[in-house]
Amino acid sequence: MLIRSLALLLVSAIVATPALAQDRRVPSSGAELRLSFAPIVQRVQPAVVNVYAAKTVQNRNPLLDDPIFRRFFGVPGQQPEQMQRSLGSGVMVDASGLVVTNNHVIEGADQVKISLADKREFEAEIVLKDSRTDLAVLRIKDSKEKFTTIDFANSDELLVGDVVLAIGNPFGVGQTVTQGIISALARTQVGITDYQFFIQTDAAINPGNSGGALVDMTGKLAGINTAIFSRSGGSQGIGFAIPANMVRVVVASAKSGGKAVKRPYLGARLQAVTPEIAETLGLKSPTGALVANVAANSPAARAGLKLSDLIVAIDGQVIDDPNAFDYRFATRPLGGSAQIDVQRAGKTVKLNVPLETAPDTNRDEIVLTARSPFQGAKVANISPAVADELRLDASTEGVVVIDLADGGTAAGVGFQKGDIILAVNSQKIAKTSDLDKASKTSARIWRITVVRGDQQINVTLGG
């Protein structure tokens, strides 16, 4: 069972010089085996913080959902409230007080506090949240001082076997350091975020470590600890961290003042190469990312990418599957282009794809508030940017659910983020204004056509 740990962890290997990775060698004497990690810990520990998040929720009595109970006993005017709290870790990445942590640590929070290693506490505001990477950036409020920070490592230079330190606050016991090695790289079957490309480590990570630092032997940030694989709820030697190069992209968007992360947009749908497809294509092994669709006028189309092309490398880095491509492409800086190597009809073709953001015209987001099955749903027209965010086919059109309010009718009847609304009571839904109008119509029966994934669903609900 994958368990997200709410604390600081993940220490990644860091480069000793801009051109050279950290020096790697086996200890040559007993004296070297007695060397200590203390100098590294003392340098980076002040930059690792605790993150406390709290949100207010109402304790709803389930009897209030019973119409007979409501009829005879009435509805109390005010429901009792309860404060829910969560604990995680974070890393100071800018001296002005910018902290990166996991999005799941602060999701839905009304209040966020940062506690430093020296026990001082500060109120913090949420600058940016990115559910696609499970990262969030916070800023300490009303502070004039300069804080200790950790520099980013180049996570592409990490190797399996590199020694790393994980720093966080497991189980809320206080700041803790654990040591291990990088057990694997480019883990793509973890199922935590949209970008499946994790560092795996055996350094102990436990609940409370989420958002913490994985540090290499030069004291640089290799990654942000995010999850563990565990049957007991505690560390069993399999932890996962988001690579520093992805963290860097999210932090850069926050520093630029953006409310959303700006990433390159490809405009093509990719699929994994199965053994059967590999045999059909005459490949030695089932690797690469197969192009299943190319959107018109997209960067992919302008670069010359075609249906059935097999992407095997980007800027010289080998691509094993679509998840690897998504990560590599998303961490490319905007502007300029990326060189993609594709196999086409048995030959290698090199294409230059422009690195630009997805167009986001005519998004027209609205929250539906009328009494209907859609009450509490936030919907948007499907622009290329929306399709990219929700992992929809680049050529998809229509109206899609992008968020659901807790306790709203839409969430209660089973709508999900990413559902595409095609029709309501035989009326075609082409844009958000159509759905807003339909939701305000009185109806005893609601007949709704929805596309979820690759399946079209017809639903009938009472009014």
Q: Is 433 a catalytic residue?
A: no
Backbone angles phi, psi at 245, to 5 degrees: -65, -30
Catalytic-role residue among 12, 86, 155, 210? 210
Q: How many CA atoms lie within 13 A of 27 on its CB side?
A: 9
Compute how many other C-beta atoms are within 10 angstroms of the C-beta atom of residue 181: 15
- Residue 173 CA from chain centroid, whole number: 27
Q: Is 436 a catalytic residue?
A: no
Euclidean distance between CA atoms 117 and 347, whole angstroms: 56
> By the 8 A CB rule, do 263 and 249 touch?
yes
Euclidean distance between CA atoms 179 and 86, whole angstroms: 25
- State how far the alpha carbon of 97 is from the alpha carbons of 73, 141, 252, in Å: 52, 8, 14
Instruction: At 34, list the tokens.
Output: 């007695």
Q: Is 210 a catalytic residue?
A: yes
- State how far the alpha carbon of 379 is from the alpha carbons of 2, 130, 158, 376, 407, in Å: 30, 18, 41, 10, 17
> By the 8 A CB rule, do 24 and 184 touch?
no
Compute how many other C-beta atoms are within 10 angstroms of the C-beta atom of residue 157: 17
Catalytic-role residue among 5, 130, 134, 253? 134
Instruction: At 381, list the tokens.
Output: 């027209």
Residues 6+ apart with CB under 8 A from 53: 85, 86, 87, 88, 105, 106, 109, 111, 112, 113
HEC readout, 280-315: HHCCCCCCCEEEEEECCCCHHHHHCCCCCCEEEEEC
Taken in order 119, 120, 123, 128, is the CA torsion positive or negative? negative
Euclidean distance between CA atoms 57 and 150, whole angstroms: 35
Catalytic-role residue among 86, 89, 104, 253? 104
> By the 8 A CB rule, do 170 and 225 touch?
no
Question: In a 3-state reduction of DSSP, which class is residue 154?
Answer: coil
Euclidean distance between CA atoms 305 and 314, whole angstroms: 13
Residues 6+ apart with CB under 8 A from 188: 196, 197, 198, 320, 321, 323, 324
* Active site (catalytic) residues: 104, 134, 210
